[in-house]
């Protein structure tokens, strides 16, 4: 591996037996050589998962295939090389949040590979419609895609999504 370079991948894993092994298999299967693993078992991410940092070595042209294989295996990649969640956006969802299964809504965000929930707050007054404020982190240049996913979820569950208007949308 003379042209191999070192790369760092940060993952979020569920606290279940075999999850670390499941995350390492796509790396090895796609030509990656493990250098080190930092498994932060005592810490949890905002989504209640265990952060794991993997240093690996591979040819530059193999790295994107490794990241794609990790995602295809259902592993949540929160940073891969220079790719990271670099942008934040806040949205408000209004409507039957509890009646449409709030835990399912949160799970939907948790399973989305392109964004992460940084903060969540719920207001459910007895005499008014419930609302939730979410602060989301999106991959670099991924806010528009994240907002499109939020609109998709809102339409599916009959919720009103209040979101910021992006500059590109204002110019159009």
Using one digit for the tens of pLDDT, what is the confidence trace for 94-114? 998 878 888 888 777 767 766
pLDDT grade for 1, boundaries at 50, 70 and 90: very low
How many percent of the chain have pLDDT more than 90? 18
- The answer to whether the 5-81 and 85-171 domains have the same CATH topology is yes
Predicted pLDDT of residue 29: 94
Lowest pLDDT segment from 23-32, 58-67, 94-103: 94-103
Is the model's pLDDT at 168 over the cut of 60? Answer: no
Candidates 3.40.50.10470, 3.30.70.260, 3.40.190.10, 2.60.40.10; correct CATH number of 85-171? Answer: 3.30.70.260
Better-scored residue on pLDDT, 31 or 80: 31
To the nearest 10°, report the CA torsion of 127, 92, 135, 126: 10
H/E stretch holding 67 reads helix 60-72
Fold that domain 5-81 belongs to in CATH: Alpha-Beta Plaits (3.30.70)
**How far apart are the C-alpha atoms of 113 and 75, rounded to whole Å?**
9
**Domain residue ranges of the chain, discontinuous segments joined by +:** 5-81, 85-171
Half-sphere exposure in the Cβ direction for 170 (13 Å, CA): 4
Predicted pLDDT of residue 166: 63
Is the model's pLDDT at 76 over the cut of 60? Answer: yes
Is the model's pLDDT at 145 over the cut of 90? Answer: no
**How far apart are the C-alpha atoms of 83 and 65, rounded to whole Å?**
14
What is the three-class DSSP state of 30? coil
pLDDT grade for 6, boundaries at 50, 70 and 90: confident
pLDDT grade for 170, boundaries at 50, 70 and 90: very low
């Amino acid at each position: 591996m003379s042209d191999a370079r070192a790369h760092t991948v940060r993952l979020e894993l569920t606290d279940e037996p075999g999850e670390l092994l499941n995350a390492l298999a796509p790396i090895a299967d796609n030509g990656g050589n493990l250098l080190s693993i930092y498994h932060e078992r005592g810490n949890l991410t905002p989504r209640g998962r265990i952060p794991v940092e993997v240093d690996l070595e591979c040819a530059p042209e193999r790295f994107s295939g490794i990241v794609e294989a990790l995602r295809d295996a259902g592993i949540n990649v929160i940073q891969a090389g220079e790719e990271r969640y670099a942008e934040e956006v806040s949205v408000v969802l209004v409507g039957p949040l509890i009646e449409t299964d709030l835990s399912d809504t949160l799970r939907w965000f948790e399973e989305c590979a392109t964004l992460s929930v940084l903060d969540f707050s719920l207001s459910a007054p007895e005499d008014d419609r419930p609302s939730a404020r979410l602060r989301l982190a999106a991959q670099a240049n991924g806010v528009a895609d994240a907002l499109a996913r939020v609109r998709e979820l809102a339409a599916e569950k009959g919720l009103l999504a209040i979101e910021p208007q992006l500059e590109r949308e204002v110019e159009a």
